[in-house]
Structure 1
Amino acid sequence: MAGEGQAPISSSTIRLDTDALNAFMAEAFPHSQPGSRGRVVSAAPGHVQARLDPNEQALRPGGLISGPTQMGFADMAAYALVLAHIGPVAMAVTSALNYQFLRPCRPGPLFADAQMLRLGKRLAVMDVRIWTDDAEKPVGQANVTYAIP
């Protein structure tokens, strides 16, 4: 929420940059192993990009990256996008996440492109695309809604 002397939240202005987002995530999730949640690689108004380098524990039978890994990464990118715009509000929480598996997710680095669709006072709605080696061929797509306290 906007504090004294702070402008209202807006999808055209970010309050946390890439470094601040990564620092906040490390502080908010101290029990996560380094790299297990992914990291923000860029943040701009209405947009965040992230990267995850999955380990062998992220694989499912058949040698593909598991669905829970993909969905968790999409959720992390959406959370980072919300925080970039509202500031360090730890209790912004996922209220809905719908994930579509578009093609097999082969092992290797995962990338997320999160776009803000609507940022309101109480809800933020985002589109997150996940890909491996070609942004034009996403392996998954998520619609994510966050509740803002």
Structure 2
Amino acid sequence: MKNDMRITYPLWQLGAIAILMVFVVLISYSADFTIYSNGGFEFAISFEGELGIVWGVISLIFVVYLVLFIWSIIMHNNRMPQHKIQIFSWKPQEYMEDDELFQDLRNEQRKKSILILFGQFHYWPVYVSHSVLKGLGW
């Protein structure tokens, strides 16, 4: 159970979500919204200056994170062939059937990850409203 990736799988997903949230924030800061009087609008993303460097760094972090995630899954599958994890699957890993102790442990971890996720999404409306108001010229 010590090296079982099925326990840390939700935390890997949260890490990917956090990196993608940084992408959303970068879009709000580097995007230009132009609204025309005839009802049309224009959306452009700028990669100039410091934001371009941040885009590059975050993209590199995401690629490295994705490689580490896939490598961890491959290592888990080699260590535990009876509990393989599929990298791409329609069925979420949370629906696996195991003993009660493992399910209790996973439920506790899911509760913690939901609290972390709520804390991260708590500021999301602020960023969205900021980018919309920026686009309207406020």
**TM-score, scaled to structure 2:** 0.26
Q: Over alpha carbons, which structure has the higher Rg?
A: 2
Structure ranking higher on relative contact order (CA contacts 8 Å, 6+ apart): 2
**TM score, norm. by length of structure 1:** 0.25
Q: Which structure features the higher share of strand residues? A: 1
